[in-house]
Structure 1
Amino acid sequence: MAMAVLATAALTSCGSGSGSEPVASGTVTLSFLTGSDQTAVDTSKALVDAFMKANPTIKIETETRPGGSEGDNVIKTRLSTGEMTDVFWYNSGSLLQALNPAQTLVDLTGDPVLANVQTDYLPVVTQENKVYGVPAASLTGGGILYNRKVYEQLKLEVPKTWAEFMANNDKIKAAGITPMIGTYKDTWTSQLFVLADFHNVQSAVRNFAQDYTAGKAKFATTPAAATGFQHLADVHAKDYYNKGFGSATLDQGLKMLVEGKGAHYPMLSALLPPLLKTYPQTATDVGLFGIPGDDPATSGATVWEPNAIYIAKTTEKLDAAKKFLVFVASPAGTEAVTAAVPPSGPYRIKGSKLPEDALQVAKDLQVYIDKGATAPALEFLSPIKGPSLEQITVAVGSGLTPPAEGAAQYDKDVEKQAKQLGLAGW
């Protein structure tokens, strides 16, 4: 979800393109297709510039593609017609299977390219036991972004249970501060109470993702999965949201959070780095905790794994392409990225460390990683994500649809998609 959400910028180019000057004799030129959102553009440029400086005989020409479904179609079309660039940036997780990787991508299983990639990341770039990509950026945490100054002022502690979280909201409201920020004008932002709750779902029902994909488990009939919808209703019933939350935008919500006018915002950590230029206090004043569950012993966070860089099977420059991926998946590569794009979470590269001045949300997420208290979002484990979820969560979070009914509506929504994908059990 993270990159799909962020990838809304217009089609731009960050490379030299077809009008580039002739390449010097003995130099190999790689083509690289990346995303058009600012984070992808800046990250790709940092990797390419650092790599070319260290490898002067390899030149990389970069082009961008649109975000969302339009960008998905560009990738699929170019792969199917044999016109894909040598390397390209794309989602990790369940969307990978739609690329038919066995026929279109270079198999990296057992290759030294993967030497520095953390084993926890490999499943999200694996299909049919074959590994195809390396992480292109840092992890994104999903949960509750909170204003640490408000917590300090009111002497609150980070909650480990939903009851503790609601008690904090009561104290915040009593102090005259908006407890919860809602930004339903940008409808996708309403989904986080459901999507970022998956760590709790998996803790309670270990095989939920597998059974859900097979049509055996449903949100409405699995109490742990239905809880995310209940959370939306609970927060609305207590009148914790900001006034006008139905017409508020993401940008307004982030501003409220950073300025301390709102204490909690269910959101993704990747949305914070772009705020630093205008609100440098974002780095220290905003923290992250996972959606609290019922058991403090299983307190943790849901993560959105980094997008990946893949090699198209049609490349005629495999050695150079692999050399670039080795650099991407190295501490030197992550250091180059960090210098250009402050990470919103840890990297999935062995030996990479967050800088001392890293965003607080990245440090908070590192603590969960170190404890082994994370789970990937459901979309990394299952290809099924109904297109109407954001409309359903807006209705539940606005008090228009009961939570149980919302969960049942979502089960019907995903059924259509599962049948379109031809999944067994549906």
Structure 2
Amino acid sequence: MSRKLFSLGFVIILIFSLSLTGCGSSKGNNNAGTNSEKPAANTNGDTAGNATTEPAVDESTAISGEITFLTNRTDMIGKEYDEYAKRFNEKYPNIKVEFEGSQTDYNQQAKVRMASGELPDVMFIPQIPNSDLPKYFASLDDLGLTDQVTFKDFKSQDGQLYGITTGNSTSGIVYNKKAFADAGITDIPKTWDEFLAACEKLKANGVIPLASNFKDKWPLNTWAFDTPRLIAGDPNYPNEKLNQDAPFTMDTGYGKAFGLLKELNQKGYLEKDINSTNWEQSKKDIASGKFAMYYLGNWVINQIIGAGTTSDNVGFFPLPYDNSGTVTATLSPDNFYAVAKDSKHIDAAKVFLKWMIEESGYEDFAGFISPLKGKESKLTQLKEFQATGVTLVEGTVDDPKVTEISNKAQLDLPAVVQEFVLAKDPQTVLDKWNKSWAKAKKDLGY
């Protein structure tokens, strides 16, 4: 796979250069609401329009049912989701939407429910091979969005679309500008050494430099997935494990990426007790300046603003993971919406999913780049990010064989990061997972 490096400005222009054709249209072969365009049969059995043709059915009232959306955004339940439901029902009054929050690890909870056969109507796709998508989810090609959405190949199988990204992100350092100014940091760090120096100034000023949310595990995804790819300089780096029996070493992408976080912890630049962190509280602490930085995607920016600060106090720059002075960042999709194949109200579920993509405005609320080509982001912090001269590495689709091996080896990379950071001898952690990887790979015949 060839390497794809783009400037952020170029990528955004490329992604959003195509105009939206057919957004919100009820035309086309769309199970999620095309009754108004379907010709009614006459008494002679043909579909030609004549005086005996039945009147068209209004799609907004023809589709009904009660559906459930399982979401990881528990903070939106009773708030923004209520507003979404109200607006949705103004257009589709006969569809009732319930929002169910995942209180634990979403990926694990979703897999448990898949195994039990009790899937919600609308959900995010967990980490499963794409070959399993048709077993659990309905094709979304009838929504008329297939040619309009970005990253459509990520959740497709046998030419069918099963998942649509909620939005796209690039990862970097989201920071409190006042905390930086109060600590005497006048320039954005462009090398790892400069980043460490900034952390030292923040620490000396009584501010926790970086909120890792170590205990919650999922916030470590940037260290587990994005940073190894960047350090290796290979957008397909995660899939290269397929050709290796010992992919985890100290001197390559994974070891170096995990080592950065370990160094930050050893120098006292993370939370004082990384085993008792709290995600919701950390957003308030970033907003107040008690904590200075996150290393996460642009999606978290609006959450920090909502936690008690102003937009102009929140900045965004790429993580300078080495001392080269040349910085890259990833462009990646976030969670993928899907509709359960066995939903009792599959048309209602599809109508809601399409509305979330086209009309809800969730991507702007969440701070995402829109999943639709041609729809520009309103996030001003992306302009600051672009001004650093960063280049973007476009992510690649996970190889299903790699996913299969990972599942058999019970490989959970964010958990590996946790082990690595806390270990006295991190090499033993890598050795353990290399052994598990090699065995699973051999057992599966790869």
TM-score normalised over the length of structure 2: 0.67
Q: Do 1:201 and 1:208's aligned partners in 2 also have CA atoms closer than 8 Å?
A: no
Is 1:101 the counterpart of 2:133? The answer is yes
Partner Cα distance (1:39, 1:213) in 2? 38
Partner Cα distance (1:266, 1:197) in 2? 10
Counterparts of 1:330-341 in structure 2, within 5 Å, are: 330=358, 332-334=359-361, 337=362
Name stretches of at least 5 consecutive residues in structure 1 with no aligned partner.
Answer: 1-23
Return the match for 1:162 from 188, 192, 195: 192
- The equivalent of 1:208 in structure 2 is 237
Return the match for 2:155 from 125, 130, 136: 125
Counterparts of 1:321-332 in structure 2, within 5 Å, are: 323-330=351-358, 332=359
Return the match for 1:401 from 424, 430, 443: 424
Which amino acid counterpart does residue 367 of structure 2 have in structure 1?
S
Return the match for 2:223 from 193, 200, 217: 193
Return the match for 2:95 from 59, 63, 82: 59
Counterparts of 1:341-360 in structure 2, within 5 Å, are: 342-355=365-378, 358=379, 360=381
Return the match for 1:227 from 253, 256, 262: 256
Which amino acid counterpart does residue 407 of structure 1 have in structure 2?
L
Is 1:258 the counterpart of 2:294? The answer is no
Partner Cα distance (1:344, 1:160) in 2? 24
Return the match for 1:34 from 69, 81, 85: 69
Q: CA 1:128 to 1:177, structure 2 compared with 1: closer, same or farther past 3 Å? A: same
Q: CA 1:306 to 1:402, structure 2 compared with 1: closer, same or farther past 3 Å? A: same
Is 1:287 the counterpart of 2:321? The answer is no
Q: Do 2:219 and 2:296's aligned partners in 1 also have CA atoms closer than 8 Å?
A: yes
Q: CA 1:312 to 1:148, structure 2 compared with 1: closer, same or farther past 3 Å? A: same
- The equivalent of 1:300 in structure 2 is 328
- The equivalent of 1:5 in structure 2 is none
**Corresponding residue SS for 2:309:** coil
Which amino acid counterpart does residue 109 of structure 2 have in structure 1?
E
Which amino acid counterpart does residue 328 of structure 1 have in structure 2?
M
Which amino acid counterpart does residue 106 of structure 1 have in structure 2?
A
Q: CA 1:188 to 1:217, structure 2 compared with 1: closer, same or farther past 3 Å? A: same
Q: CA 1:377 to 1:249, structure 2 compared with 1: closer, same or farther past 3 Å? A: farther
Partner Cα distance (1:188, 1:319) in 2? 32
TM-score normalised over the length of structure 1: 0.70
- The equivalent of 1:4 in structure 2 is none
Partner Cα distance (2:215, 2:346) in 1? 46
Partner Cα distance (2:110, 2:440) in 1? 19
Q: CA 1:401 to 1:285, structure 2 compared with 1: closer, same or farther past 3 Å? A: farther
Deviation, structure 1 residue 122: 1.2
Which amino acid counterpart does residue 156 of structure 1 have in structure 2?
T
Deviation, structure 1 residue 210: 2.0
- The equivalent of 2:34 in structure 1 is none
Partner Cα distance (2:294, 2:252) in 1? 24
Deviation per CA, 1:298-332, whole angstroms, max 9, x where unpaired? 623345523233344456877666554443332x3
